[in-house]
């Protein structure tokens, strides 16, 4: 199986040994961030630094002219990725013989939510989620589609991976996070992720729902969870708590909104890209899930994109719904965390890759070459040598 390692530009820029070290892992490809959210990242081998703090979501290349005069526009990176950090890193990695694909984070941007609060998801209690742009709003959709095309199709890139191309909700790794006191489960996460901004309130109306009545119903549905009721059961629990018809109507609005955005973004990337450019989505086969791995309908997303990148660190079972819909040329990339300190397992990497392949994976994604320890990288070399 072809393998690709995730990399940040700051892992490479300023470290002349990085490209050869990554190539020596045995990967054929790198998935290099070109637009990325805020983060604090370890760089354990870099000659100039050990910690990089990306203070806000930004593009890691010079912002294009298409954004002139627009209210929503990508932010240029600060000192963590100045100038064309993406381009410099991509050139060095390509010179080491690696195929470069872009890694584009879309509907996840806390700075945009802080500076343009009306763009954010609003829950049933009126709380805004500044990290989560509402993908139903026309201006936000236009921004995301154009960002996808610009950040994906960088010079020399052979393909792209689009992350968070769908709904983002409550679940979010946040600084000093203190939200785990009540176990909401899948059902509670869905209910707390329903958006009630003006665009979504109108959308619910198009599905025959009164937005005010729905707000009250969502609060009533959540009340047992705040009091400690069991929150397991996934979608059947949403239907039980909210009412089957009402729950189905919210899904109809949200599913259509996400699917049409995915169609538009992929079409924009293809229109800007050369022939043969590969377009993959980071995806979860449970359509109502929110987050970096957008919840999708497997049949639909594989009719739109060339394939998907599927989280498999907790096991490869999420591959199966995609494999059931795959064509002979579909890319099913199993995403395995290789950093032991972030939940990866060095000792089972070879077996994990084999299990993923047995369930239909055609490629591997390894998260993350820049964050990994030397022992983690040694395990990657061993696992890839055993393919």
Instruction: Identify the DSSP state of 197.
Output: S
- Per-residue pLDDT tens over the stretch 344-380: 988 899 999 999 999 999 999 999 999 999 999 999 9
Q: For residue 223, what pLDDT is reported?
A: 93
Run of H or E residues at 156: none
Q: Considering only residues 175 and 63, tell me which one the structure prediction assigns the higher pLDDT.
A: 63
Nearest to 35 by CA among 134, 147, 118, 137: 147
Residue in this structure with the two tokens 């990325």, named with its chain if needed: 36
Residue in this structure with the two tokens 């696992």, named with its chain if needed: 383
* Count of helix runs (H) and strand runs (E) in the chain: 14, 14
Q: For residue 184, what pLDDT is reported?
A: 80
Q: Which domains does the chain have, with CATH numbers?
A: 2-179+257-385 (3.20.20.80)
367 close to 336: Cβ distance less than 8 angstroms = yes
Counting Cα atoms < 13 Å in the Cβ hemisphere of 259 gives 16
- Per-residue pLDDT tens over the stretch 155-164: 999 999 999 9
Nearest to 290 by CA among 108, 147, 74, 113: 108
Name the H helices within the chain. Answer: 9-12, 18-23, 85-95, 110-115, 138-152, 185-193, 198-206, 211-226, 235-242, 244-272, 298-304, 319-323, 349-358, 374-385
* Residue 48 binned pLDDT confidence (cut-offs 50, 70, 90): very high
225 close to 188: Cβ distance less than 8 angstroms = yes
List 209's β-bridge partners, or say none. none
List 2's β-bridge partners, or say none. 363
β-strands 128-133, 29-36 pairing: unpaired
Q: For residue 346, what pLDDT is reported?
A: 85
Phi, psi of 153 (to 5 degrees): -100, 75
Q: What's the mean pLDDT in 167-196?
A: 82
Q: Give the three-class secondary structure for 35.
A: strand
Q: What's the mean pLDDT in 194-218?
A: 98
Distance CA 292, CA 301 (A): 15
Q: What's the mean pLDDT in 275-284?
A: 98
Q: What's the mean pLDDT in 55-59?
A: 97
Run of H or E residues at 41: strand 39-42
Distance CA 260, CA 95 (A): 38
Residue in this structure with the two tokens 């109809």, named with its chain if needed: 252
- Per-residue pLDDT tens over the stretch 221-257: 999 988 887 777 789 999 999 999 999 999 999 999 9
Percent of the chain with pLDDT over 90: 91
Q: What's the mean pLDDT in 166-192?
A: 80
Q: Which residues contact 336 (CB under 8 A, 6 or more apart)?
A: 312, 313, 344, 349, 352, 353, 356, 364, 365, 366, 367
Counting Cα atoms < 13 Å in the Cβ hemisphere of 186 gives 13
Q: For residue 174, what pLDDT is reported?
A: 67
Distance CA 314, CA 316 (A): 7
- Per-residue pLDDT tens over the stretch 16-40: 999 999 999 999 999 999 999 999 9
Nearest to 225 by CA among 196, 254, 193, 186: 186
Tokens at residue 294, please? 């957008």
């Amino acid at each position: 199986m072809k393998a690709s390692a995730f990399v940040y530009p700051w892992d490479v820029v300023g470290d002349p040994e990085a490209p050869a070290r990554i190539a020596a892992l045995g990967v054929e490809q790198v998935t290099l961030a070109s637009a990325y959210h805020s983060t604090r990242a370890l760089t354990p081998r870099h000659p100039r630094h050990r910690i990089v703090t990306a203070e806000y979501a930004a593009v890691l290349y010079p912002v294009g002219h298409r954004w002139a005069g627009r209210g929503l526009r990508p932010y240029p990176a600060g000192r963590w990725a100045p100038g064309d950090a993406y381009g410099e890193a991509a050139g060095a990695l390509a010179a080491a013989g690696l195929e470069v694909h872009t890694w584009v984070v879309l509907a996840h941007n806390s700075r945009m939510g802080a500076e343009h609060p009306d763009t954010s998801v609003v829950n049933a209690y009126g709380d805004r989620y500044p990290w989560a742009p509402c993908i139903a709003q026309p201006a936000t959709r236009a921004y995301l589609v154009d960002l996808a095309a610009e950040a994906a199709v960088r010079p020399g890139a052979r393909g792209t991976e689009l992350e968070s191309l769908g709904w983002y909700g409550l679940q979010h790794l946040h600084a000093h996070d203190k939200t785990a006191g009540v176990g909401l489960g899948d059902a509670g996460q869905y209910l707390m992720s329903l958006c009630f901004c003006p665009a979504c309130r109108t959308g619910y109306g198009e599905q025959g729902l009164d937005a005010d009545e729905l707000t009250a119903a969502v609060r009533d549905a959540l009340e047992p969870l705040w009091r400690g009721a069991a929150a397991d059961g996934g979608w059947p629990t949403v239907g039980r708590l909210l009412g089957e018809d009402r729950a189905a109507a919210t899904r109809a609005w949200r599913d259509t909104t996400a699917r049409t955005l995915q169609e538009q973004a992929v079409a924009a990337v293809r229109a800007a890209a050369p022939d043969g450019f590969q377009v993959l989505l980071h995806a979860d086969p449970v359509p109502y899930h929110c987050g970096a791995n957008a919840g999708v309908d497997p049949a639909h997303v594989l009719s739109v994109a060339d394939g998907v990148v599927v989280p498999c660190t907790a096991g490869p079972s999420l591959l199966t719904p995609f494999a059931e819909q795959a064509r002979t040329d579909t890319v099913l990339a199993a995403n395995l965390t290789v950093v032991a300190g972030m939940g990866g397992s060095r000792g089972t990497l070879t077996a994990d890759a084999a299990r993923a392949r047995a369930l239909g994976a055609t490629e591997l994604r390894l998260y993350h070459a820049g964050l990994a320890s030397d022992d983690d990288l040694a395990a990657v070399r061993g696992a890839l040598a055993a393919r």
